[in-house]
Amino acid sequence: AQTVTQSQPEMSVQEAETVTLSCTYDTSESNYYLFWYKQPPSRQMILVIRQEAYKQQNATENRFSVNFQKAAKSFSLKISDSQLGDTAMYFCAFMDTSGTYKYIFGTGTRLKVLA
């Protein structure tokens, strides 16, 4: 069975600084997708970034980028130029490409951006 581990329950960063959130996963699959989701206090999960395992190039979306290390089964999220609106829970998620395409989420990292 696949598992996702986020070992940082809470993190804080000064506004405009850079922060990296860690995620490791375990799977025997060779092809899969990885995601980072943001969950603000409104509870609505918002997709931040997506990475396909067969693509070696790390995904980027504006201030958000990932460091995908397939051999190490590591998928960290880097947030550059942190903004107050980035304050939220961040969840790492795994999805395999066989079956029903359901997410397997980690336990989350609570990020607080300080003014």
Partner 1 sequence: GAGVSQTPSNKVTEKGKYVELRCDPISGHTALYWYRQSLGQGPEFLIYFQGTGAADDSGLPNDRFFAVRPEGSVSTLKIQRTERGDSAVYLCASSLMGHPSYEQYFGPGTRLTVT
Q: Which stretches of the chain bind partner 1, using CB under 8 A?
A: 4, 33, 42-47, 50, 52, 91, 93, 95, 97, 99-108
Comparing CB distances to partner 1, the nearer of 10 and 81 is 10
Min dist CB 17 to partner 1, Å, is 26
CB of 93 to partner 1, least distance (A): 8
Q: What is the CA radius of gyration of the chain?
A: 14
Considering the complex, state which of residue 12 and residue 107 has its C-beta at the smaller distance from partner 1. Answer: 107
According to DSSP, the residues that pair with 78 across neighbouring strands are 20, 65
Q: Cβ 14 to partner 1, closest distance in Å? A: 26
Output 62 or 115, the one with its CB closest to partner 1: 62
- Burial class (CB within 10 angstroms; exposed 0-12, middle 13-18, buried 19+) of 33: middle
What is the spatial distance between Cα 114 and Cα 104, in angstroms, rounded to a whole number?
A: 30
Q: Which is nearer to partner 1, 7 or 14 (CB)?
A: 7
* CA proximity to 93, closest of 54, 48, 55: 48
Q: Name the minimum Å distance from CB 103 to partner 1.
A: 7
**C-alpha distances in angstroms, 19 versus 12, 15, 23, 44, 53?**
8, 10, 13, 22, 23
